[in-house]
Structure 1
């Protein structure tokens, strides 16, 4: 009887450990975008901050057992671009957002990745263009429009 109880306990423990693990290999997307009002609001960049561009690095983690979305971490840097480079003046200002993410379908039956920050700020949504491209959506679910220098499309690293 003790052997059976120990085997059951071991089985429950293994299941618990596996359920609590997150994907060891996140899917990472990155981009450089304009620092317009909508992303400023999404990232809580102060209105008084000097900001012409934002560099995004988004890591999406999934449950290794079923590949369901679990956790995300968004690192971003914003500021004034250094002329003739891809860098920032004075190294820019860095920020991080993290929380849970989900996948849902929008009205056009497109897959949308919704990031729900742990702090009280608006959710951030991207439409999945394909396996390697995500595009930022505004608060109405419409595609953000960039310009000749930068877009709102994140590419898989």
Structure 2
């Protein structure tokens, strides 16, 4: 009898250990891998402790956020190779390791704070949804990119997600003209708008979007788009309007761009006055890749 009791206790103990291990595994968040290419301006050089004299066109990021709140950031940077996706021969590489925490603010549901002995200041990244993240300044403002690259990072292996967890904070309703630049992946735009007839070899689209307002009422009026698809410039014009709401964010401000040669409008989620994100016809944010994001940046006047 004593042997049976001991065997029962050992079996029960083994069962509890296995159950605990299973529960712990199912409750553990998997790592998040973010990729993207950002500009190499002075602010991000300071952030990443890159010498100010370094000649940089863009920085390619591979950021791993582990379940134990540690991170590994691999960056490649240098001057871009003309008409290609890579760098010239003097490309630099750096690995940064550290820890991160997550906080909430009035505009962002989740802000990731990355700290490391190798960084001069913390890296702040706002989460748009499970697939799209965007770098912030120390004042929690969206960092504004340029006509080549944005400050958006994309999940390497996107998961189904319709959420937009960032609040729109538009303050400029009276500028008579707004100009945005950027470069996006090509094929996904072609799938949304087959009338553009992108070729299978197209890997990027250059954009310049000009939005005009009425001089008296300040309401949206006309717009023009200049984009370069398949290395061919195209100029189109139309009108734009402001609409509100997605399935998960009823207060999201969306710029609806209507042009005659596209069957469906182009939809852009306006986070603030400076940064716009492409969303698809179902109002889901579009996910970029290691080279380009679906982001437009306001051009400095």
TM interval, short-chain normalised? 0.7 to 0.9
What SS class does the counterpart of residue 121 from structure 2 fall into? Answer: coil
Counterpart contact for 1:75–1:94, Cα < 8 Å = yes
Cα 1:48–1:125, aligned 2, differ >3 Å: closer, same or farther? same
Higher alpha-carbon Rg: 2
Query: 2:206: which partner in 1?
Result: none
| Distance in 2, Cα, partners of 1:29 & 1:148 | 21
- CA deviation string 1:116-137 (max 9, x = no partner): 1133521101000000011000
Determine the structure 1 residue equivalent to 2:161.
none
In the alignment, is the contact (CA less than 8 A) between 2:108 and 2:127 conserved in 1?
no
Whether the 8 Å contact between 2:102 and 2:110 is mirrored in structure 1 is yes
* Mapped contact 1:56–1:76 kept (Cα < 8 A): yes
Residues 112-123 of structure 1 aligned to structure 2 (within 5 Å)? 112-119=111-118, 121-123=120-122
- Name the CA shift for 1:143/1:46 in 2 (closer, same or farther; >3 Å): same
RMSD: 2.8
- Give the Cα–Cα distance (whole angstroms) in 2 for the partners of residues 132 and 24 of structure 1: 15
Within 5 Å, which residues of 2 pair with 1:96-115? 96-115=95-114
Greater fraction helix = 1
1:40 equivalent in structure 2? 45
* Structure 2: unaligned runs, 5 residues or longer: 1-8, 157-301
**Structure 1's 75 and 120: CA in aligned 2 closer, same or farther, altered over 3 A?**
closer
Matches for 1:65-144 after TM superposition, within 5 Å? 69-90=68-89, 92-119=91-118, 121-144=120-143
Aligned with residue 61 of structure 1, among 66, 86, 89: 66
Range that drifts further, 23-32 or 78-87: 23-32
What is the CA-CA distance between 1:26 and the residue it aligns to? 2.4
RCO higher in 1 or 2 (8 Å CA, sep ≥ 6)?
A: 1
Residue aligning to 1:65: none
Q: Give CA deviations for 1:47-99 in whole Å, capped at 9, x if unaligned.
A: 1111111001100001xxxxxx5110011011100011110111510111111
Task: Flag structure 1 segments of 5+ consecutive residues without an equivalent.
Answer: 63-68
* Runs (4+) off by over 6 Å: none
Q: Tell me how far 1:25 sits from its aligned partner.
A: 5.2
